[in-house]
Structure 1
Amino acid sequence: MRFLDLAKDRYTTKKYNPNRKISDEKIQELKEILRLSPSSINSQPWKFIFVADERTKRELANASYFNKQKINEASHLVVFTAIDVVEKFEAQIHQYPLGSVSYYNQFLKPKGETEVKYWMQHQVYLALGFFLSACVRMEIDSTPMEGIQHEEYDSILQLKDYKTLFAVAIGYRDPSDANQPSINPKSRLPLEHIIQSL
């Protein structure tokens, strides 16, 4: 199938089939895909947490506002986190080629800790796009969500040196989900409003 067709089919799932789980094989494939995600200067300032344990998933669902039901019904929840300690990141990138470290030292580090953390978080969003594309290609439905209580997530997952940014519920849609494009067509701005060719 063409990627354009996949893009037309992909949507934010609102209702999952709780009785259908993603196979271990597909979960392992998704983990490897995330490991291979692109990032600026190969920075990889992230950790991805796959939650299948129902008790932990319920705890996180309770810290997710209106996303609670989706998380409880989904097969898995994937939590995307960014390094939150600049010194940890700097120790990590010293394993990389000299050019990458030089770029960081010359252009990023002088901007200060706050800007470096913002930059690291932006890299995690690159991985999100990669992940959502992989899911649709593997016929897995997904719901990216920023509507969560970040500090609660950090506490439940006992994160150290990392900070929760967002989560993605994954699984298989309930056939009655009213948000799927066959029932509720996608609403997007016209091409000429968002694309400029020079």
Structure 2
Amino acid sequence: MDFLHLAEQRYTTKKYNPDQKIPEDRIRALKNILRLSPSSINSQPWRFVFVSDEAIKEELAKQSFFNEQKIKDASHLVVFTVVNDINKFEEQIEKHLQPGSVGYFKQFLKPLPEDQIKSWLSHQVYLSLGFFLGACASMGIDSTPMEGIQKEGYDSILKLDGYTTLFAVAIGYRDEDDANQPALKQKSRMDLEAVVQSL
């Protein structure tokens, strides 16, 4: 199956089948795919938390506004977090990155105000989201990316240390009656000419 077809068929799932769980070998594959996600200078300023425990999912669902039922019914919830301690991040890159990458950070990013550095770090995590959604589609796994969550509540429930929640993705298998699926509701996108320019 080519990627264009996957893009045409992939959609944001609104209703999951709570009785269908993702097999463990596929969860392992998704974990490794996230580990291999691209990031600027190979910075990898992230942690990904896979939640399948029903009690923890229930707690997180309560912190998720209109996404509550999706989280309860999905097989897993994946929480995308970003390092929020710049000193901790510097220690990490000193251990794991090539000297040129560390030098780039020190020369071009470290002199910036803290909020700009943290914004740059968050952008790297968003790169992994696109990678992850494409991977799920290629494996026949449905997904729902969600920013509509109470991040501080997530941080507290997950007892994050040195990291903070950015967003989460519910994953699983759609309910056959999910009204948002392309077979029942045509995808709505702007025309190609409106979003892509060729020079």
- TM-score bracket, normalised by the shorter chain, equals over 0.9
Q: How does 1:35-54 map to 2 (within 5 A)?
A: 35-54=35-54
Q: How does 1:121-132 map to 2 (within 5 A)?
A: 121-132=122-133
Tell me by how many angstroms 1:159 deviates: 0.6
Tell me by how many angstroms 1:112 deviates: 2.1
In structure 2, C-alpha distance between the alignment counterparts of 1:97 and 1:165, rounded to whole Å: 27
Q: Does 1:22 find its partner at 2:22?
A: yes
Q: How does 1:65-144 map to 2 (within 5 A)?
A: 65-95=65-95, 96-144=97-145
In structure 2, C-alpha distance between the alignment counterparts of 1:6 and 1:114, rounded to whole Å: 36
In structure 2, C-alpha distance between the alignment counterparts of 1:165 and 1:101, rounded to whole Å: 24
Structure 2: gaps spanning 5 or more residues: none
Deviations 1:37-92 (A, max 9, x none): 00000000000000000000000000000000000000000000000000000001
Q: What's the C-alpha RMSD, in Å, of the aligned pairs?
A: 0.5
Question: Which residue type is aligned with residue 181 of structure 2?
Answer: Q
Q: How does 1:49-60 map to 2 (within 5 A)?
A: 49-60=49-60
SS in 2 for 1:94: helix
Aligned length: 198
Question: Which residue type is aligned with residue 98 of structure 1?
Answer: P
SS in 1 for 2:181: coil
Runs (4 or more) in structure 1 with deviation over 2 Å come to none
With normalisation by structure 2, the TM-score equals 0.99
2:191 corresponds to which residue? 190
Question: Bigger shift: 103-112 or 30-39?
Answer: 103-112
With normalisation by structure 1, the TM-score equals 0.99
2:161 corresponds to which residue? 160
SS in 1 for 2:110: helix
Question: Which residue type is aligned with residue 89 of structure 2?
Answer: F
In structure 1, C-alpha distance between the alignment counterparts of 2:75 and 2:101, rounded to whole Å: 38
2:11 corresponds to which residue? 11
In structure 2, C-alpha distance between the alignment counterparts of 1:154 and 1:90, rounded to whole Å: 22
SS in 1 for 2:14: coil
Tell me by how many angstroms 1:169 deviates: 0.1
Structure 1: gaps spanning 5 or more residues: none
1:148 corresponds to which residue? 149
Tell me by how many angstroms 1:113 deviates: 1.4
Question: Which residue type is aligned with residue 93 of structure 2?
Answer: I
In structure 1, C-alpha distance between the alignment counterparts of 2:168 and 2:56, rounded to whole Å: 14
1:173 corresponds to which residue? 174
